[in-house]
Structure 1
Amino acid sequence: MLPAFHSVSGVFIEFTKTEHEHGGPGWEFGTCLWSPTVNNRGANSYALMSAPEKGDLVLHFLLTKWPDGTEETRVAGFSYVAKPCQTVQTEPTKADKWANRGSYFRIDLKGYTPFPNPLPMKTLIEEYGEDIRKELIENGPRFYPFNRYGAGLHTVQGIYLGRCTENLYQILAKAMSIEVATTAAKAEPGPEHREYAEARRLSSERYFFARNPSLRKDAIQVYGTSCQACGFDFGARYGAHGAGYIEVHHKDPLSERAEAEWTEEVRTALSQVAVLCANCHRMVHRKKQALTIEQLKDQLQNPPVSS
């Protein structure tokens, strides 16, 4: 679920690609936003970097080669601003064509969560282009990520960070079939808050595997794409749309470890992971202590008798 649009002071969109690894170690995708303080002509074209505030939402549009072999831009996930923009003299370890600029803007992020089904940009434009064009014509929003191009649309040339309007936010949620909260969630103590923490930790586990594609790929190669608890296969149920999809799970769950260990430095062997469908993965993590795969299989094979 995405938060209510007005529960944060701003919603922003990052456009990036994996070509230069988002800046390299210490500057990884989903952990920060960064740009030089001026462009190659000395102009301040990255002024919007000063706008995001702590707690603001960032939607990430990522150009990469996806697991299905398609190289394209998709709406990959979302995160929150951990710190407002800082000007730093430290150059990203893989700054690529933005090297030797002297100083850089950096915005630290937290809680990156990948979307289950990243939305292709071309699908967004094909199916919702008219709605986006209408907003451009009627409202002319500033820092909007799209421009009209004849009778069509394209993204603003060279854009890195843009503003997401409420209308565009609703369009994106609708296009991805993601529910948007109607009111801001309250961080109150009690069972609801503890359940939220578990969901956040499960997202961190999914993020770990998203950031460790070789481990995920090897796990699927060894274990296949059928859930090791219930046998569900996304490809068999959803056809080509679900083919190859499965979630990878730590048998020694991140949710049982200190947050400091939720990094790609965690060393994990194939024998320490399993593949699970989304339902079984969620049930494994539903309570502390997390269930083992064997315990979950036992519950599936011996359901409680209804009274």
Structure 2
Amino acid sequence: METVNQTIISEFILLGLSDDPTLQPFIFTLFLTIYLITTLGNLLIILAVSSDSQLHTPMYFFLCNLSFNDICLINTTIPKMLVNIQREDHTITYTACLSQVYLILNFAGIENCLLAVMAYDRYVAICHPLKYTVIMNQYVCAMLLLFSLFLSIVHALFHTLMILLLSFCTEIEIPHFFCELAQIIRLACSDNFINYLLVYTVSVLFFGVPVFGIILSYIHIISSVLKMSSLGGKYKAFSTCGSHLSVVSLFYGTGFGVHISSAFTDSPKKTVVASVMYTIITQMLNPFIYSLRNKEMKKAFRKITSKIPFLL
């Protein structure tokens, strides 16, 4: 029986967005700017919600947690990428790579669950306004958040542990700027059919159920809004959902694009570009979407900036 030339892998090589040395300063500056904007924008949302008592509602409680999760998600990818460019060293240890896979899956999963919970919150607020404070009480909000965390941790841990069953040989180059699950499985020299099967079946369930919940919530929301006689009431109802719908479309649209591009193209670079939209651009745009489309957030931001001398 033919033996496989297998060695113990201690590190991988992240090829990044480009192997052109002349583009590295531009990529470094661009992603450093994106990182700072994303972190600052989401921190401002957290600060605005926590400092304004009028925003201490379930809707903004989940928004605050979403912003914190976005900060965590972007910190799993960009800092390592920037360090690699600065040091001109694109290696990442096996342990660090698995940790990155776990963290990305975990925080992306939390965002997935939080968007579904926020859709349910909007459904209760619009379809059952008189029972809203009773249904969405503090205990329920805390349980929904904890349940989202639990599901995401289990989902991420499951896929990460499945990687430990794979064997890797001499092919250690990852055509990506972070350790992406599908790319890691593709590098395995052992049988990875089960891993691929589980990735697609479990992911379809984990991400598909919240998407179905979001769609179902908005079907009820639209039905309730269309029954309203007041144009002002209709506008107010739709305006409270506008920001959430924009974020949902951006998150799931780019995520779906990543899977489509990886399934129908042989170009790793196209998949990487799609992943940038999914793991970085979405998190950067979320604060702008919620601040530009929400009057209460604008008011809270003005209160904060008025207390900062150099912004006056």
Relative to the length of structure 1, the TM-score reads 0.25
Q: Which has the higher helix share?
A: 2
Question: Quick one: higher RCO (CA 8 Å, sep 6+), 1 or 2?
Answer: 2
Relative to the length of structure 2, the TM-score reads 0.25
Q: Which has the higher strand share?
A: 1
